[in-house]
Structure 1
Amino acid sequence: MRQFEAIAEHLHALHQAARADGLRIKRVIFESTYIPKLYATRRGAFIRASIPFMQTRPWIRHDEHYHVDFDMPCKRH
């Protein structure tokens, strides 16, 4: 399915951009039943090895969107 290919490419691009800035993706909140569809994409091996999905059940449905949280230290003022 093309939409999962596009999501996988988006997650790969976000991962690359974060790494370029010395950051990392902390967590992706995504509907767990759709994760195997990401694993079946061209970037599937990368997704499986590099993208940390939220392990607990999200508090709202994520079947039409997803969240990406970055591990970024806050600056003190």
Structure 2
Amino acid sequence: MLPSAWTPFSALANLTGQPAASLPAGFTRDGRPVGLQIIGRHQDDIGVLRASAAFERVRPWQHVWPLSRDRRQSA
């Protein structure tokens, strides 16, 4: 994968100068990660950080790991 392959996902925030955060949001049934992107109003970095913290409070993720390939096949 090219290093620039991710740019379509951040172009809107980059071009408009809006603050943004990307958060882990879980895993698909087959163990692939899913993310949530929060984009705020121009210069509202604090709002984006508050929204990110609120999401992490209701959906903590630090203790969650995807199933290994071996465990997915036996599940």
TM-score category of the 2 structures, normalised to the smaller one: 0.3 to 0.5
Structure 1-normalised TM-score?
A: 0.32
Query: Which structure has the bigger radius of gyration?
Result: 2
Higher RCO (C-alpha under 8 Å, 6+ residues apart): 1
Structure 2-normalised TM-score?
A: 0.32
